[in-house]
Amino acid sequence: MTDLFHDKAADWDERPIPQQISEGVTRALLEAVRFEPGMTVMDFGAGTGLLASKIAPRVERLLAVDISEAMLEQLAKKPELAGKVDIHCRDILETPLEETVDLVVSAMAMHHVEDTRALFAAFHAHLVPGGHLALADLDTEPGTFHPPGTEGVFHDGFDRDATRGLLEEAGFTDVAFVTACEVDREERRYPIFLVTATRA
Per-residue pLDDT reduced to its tens digit, 71-114: 999 999 999 999 999 999 999 999 999 999 999 999 999 999 99
CB 93 within 8 A of CB 122: yes
pLDDT, tens digit, for every residue of 115-126?
A: 999 999 999 999
Considering the entire predicted model, what is its pTM?
Answer: 0.92
Distance CA 13, CA 50 (A): 7
Distance CA 129, CA 132 (A): 9
Q: What is the pLDDT at residue 130?
A: 97
80 inside domain = yes
Report CA torsion sign: 108, 160, 179, 121.
negative
Distance CA 11, CA 88 (A): 21
Q: How far is CA 171 from the centre of its chain?
A: 19
3 inside domain = no
120: domain CATH number is 3.40.50.150
Q: Is the pLDDT of residue 5 over 90?
A: no
35 inside domain = yes
Q: Is the pLDDT of residue 61 over 50?
A: yes
Q: Is the pLDDT of residue 2 over 70?
A: no
2 inside domain = no
pLDDT, tens digit, for every residue of 12-44?
A: 556 667 688 888 999 999 999 999 999 999 999
5 inside domain = no
Q: What is the pLDDT at residue 151?
A: 84
166 inside domain = yes
Which tops the pLDDT comparison, 23 or 176? 176
Our count of domains for the chain comes to 1
Residue 3 pLDDT level (bands cut at 50, 70, 90):
very low
Assign 126 to helix, strand or coil.
Answer: helix
150 inside domain = yes
Q: What is the pLDDT at residue 149?
A: 81
Q: Is the pLDDT of residue 7 over 90?
A: no
User: What number is the average pLDDT over the span 166-183?
Assistant: 97
Report CA torsion sign: 60, 40, 93, 180.
negative
Share of the chain above pLDDT 90, in %: 79
Segments forming the whole domain that contains residue 27: 12-199
Q: What is the DSSP letter of 158?
A: B
Classify the phi-psi angles of 61: left when phi > 0, otherwise alpha if psi is within -120 to 50, otherwise beta. beta
142 inside domain = yes
Sequence-distant (≥ 6) Cβ neighbours of residue 113 within 8 angstroms: 93, 119, 154
Q: What is the pLDDT at residue 6?
A: 53
